[in-house]
Amino acid sequence: MLYRSLSIVAAMALVWGISTQAAAQAPVADPKADAISWQKKATDTRATVMGVAAELEKIGDQGNAAARGMIDDANHWVAEGDESTAQGDEKMAAADYPQAKNAYNMAWNHYVRAATSGLTAKSMLTGQ
């Protein structure tokens, strides 16, 4: 039980840390570096989300309709984030760095939404 609550707190802290780090950074003069930075933020946030998803897979929805809805919502936002990441990858390949940055930023936002939904579902199911 304590391990689960600590993992929830750690995951929430990681998502919060990534989000505040992203918000606190000043504009980068190099558009390519800026795009790469957002690409990394999106990738790191997705990895956190997938960790929460793995824990939810083990737990299951336990017949809880509200938790099932949050899990479905998290899956939806991961798919949206993956789509935005693919768009960012296309823009990076075309050296359209401002548009790549925008796509990766959108992916990051989708992954944050997925993390929020996943952590809410986990809290519903574990009581923590």
pLDDT, tens digit, 9 for 90 and up, residues 7-61: 665 566 566 566 555 555 555 589 999 999 999 999 999 999 999 999 999 999 9
Residue with tokens 């990394």: 40
The tens digit of pLDDT for each residue in 87-108 reads 999 999 999 999 999 999 999 9
pTM over 0.75: yes
Q: Could you tell me the two tokens for 50? A: 């997938």
Angle at 39 between CA 98 and CA 104, to 5 degrees: 55
